[in-house]
Amino acid sequence: MSSALTDLFPHPIVQAPMAGGVSVPQLAAAVSEAGGLGFLAAGYKTADGMYQEIKQLRGLTGRPFGVNLFMPHPEYAEPAAVGVYAHQLAGEAAWYETELGDPDSGRDDGYDAKLAVLLDNPVPVVSFHFGVPGRDVLDALRRAGTLTLVTATTADEARAVEQAGADAVIVQGVEAGGHQGTHRDIAENDGSGIGLLSLLAQVREAVRLPLVAAGGIMRGSQIAAVLAAGASAAQLGTAFVATHESGAHAVHKQALTNPLFTRTALTRAFSGRPARGLVNRFVREHGPYAPAAYPDLHHLTAPLRKAAARAGDAQGMALWAGQGHRMARELPAGQLVEVLAAELAAARTALSGGGTA
């Protein structure tokens, strides 16, 4: 299926935006140069930090790319619950010889300032995580020549995306690495995520917009499957964490295929919102009681995560990964796009009967 979005790049392969220093300009440039769509992640950055990365990326490639924004979280979490969690993390702070962070370090991720930069200096594509921007925002970006994508994790969320006037929906299955882009984080919903193929079919029947499928995709054959199920492109995160250009910590890259890590889980332990990562000591110990308090817990645990990373301690880091992590390939990102495209072509031939003897 062709759409204004997929007309921008030859291979239906989107490199997921990955906040926390993973999707650096070098990664996005390599993907876009190879014919996929590279993405920068503005989450947790200042508006100026985002702008500097955009300028750097523009210096590396003239091809289209995207920038991802986190929606603000205006609702305050229960301060008492955050206080109790801080108490429960006291031993971690002592172990890593650091203080806990201030949970009140901001709830909006500099959203308005980042939008202002993106309206003054338009980029080809902007995507949104954790909710739906207002129609005014989507219209203003369209007038600036930018295509807009919004993540949905249910058919109802996809309808809200369509009604707001976005150009495409990112359909994120529960297999996905990193944070679920659920529009409203409700603690009672824990454990109710929908698998990508089921979700894709539900969303395909709910909205007419082009769909970008995300969650657990590591091979071209899976891209063929989501295209056959109605998606226009696939968005891959974990597969790109392992690439040479990714800014992920070496410990994170190695952990993806380390047999020591046998499974992933959705956990609130690091940020207060469900995110999928490799199950390590921190997730096992603190996941069971971490409260629904995003971004308070993100700020609270930031020094712990930094200290663990400095020490190269995989047991204290947020090792975000999707369910397909074991299939990660340590390649240059451009080569990964080429390999995925070749696998996709082979799978399509097989699907159309051309591969049978």
Ligand X SMILES: Cc1cc2nc3c(=O)[nH]c(=O)nc-3n(C[C@H](O)[C@H](O)[C@H](O)COP(=O)(O)O)c2cc1C
Can you give the binding site for ligand X, defined by CB under 6 A?
Answer: 16-20, 22, 41, 43, 68, 129, 151, 172, 175-178, 181, 214-217, 235-239, 241, 320-322, 324
Instruction: Give the nearest distance from C-beta 196 to ligand X in angstroms.
Output: 9
What's the CA gap between 162 and 207, in Å, rounded? 7
Judge contact between 294 and 105, C-beta under 8 A. no
Residue 50 or 217 with smaller CB distance to ligand X: 217
Closest CA to 151 of 17, 344, 265: 17
Residue 218 or 293 with smaller CB distance to ligand X: 218
Helix/strand/coil percentages in the chain, nearest 5:
40, 15, 45
Which phi and psi (to 5°) does residue 295 adopt?
-95, 15
Task: Find all residues with CB under 8 Å of 57, minimum gap 6, and list them.
Answer: 25, 28, 29, 38, 40, 65
Task: Find all residues with CB under 8 Å of 323, minimum gap 6, and list them.
Answer: 175, 215, 216, 264, 276
Instruction: Give the nearest distance from C-beta 225 to ligand X in angstroms.
Output: 14
Residue 63 or 179 with smaller CB distance to ligand X: 179
Residue 19 or 89 with smaller CB distance to ligand X: 19
Instruction: Give the nearest distance from C-beta 126 to ligand X in angstroms.
Output: 11
- Please state, as a whole number, how many other Cβ atoms lie within 10 Å of the Cβ of residue 331: 17
Judge contact between 200 and 171, C-beta under 8 A. yes
Instruction: Give the nearest distance from C-beta 193 to ligand X in angstroms.
Output: 12
Instruction: Give the nearest distance from C-beta 214 to ligand X in angstroms.
Output: 4
Residue 129 or 286 with smaller CB distance to ligand X: 129
Instruction: Give the nearest distance from C-beta 357 to ligand X in angstroms.
Output: 33
Residue 26 or 151 with smaller CB distance to ligand X: 151
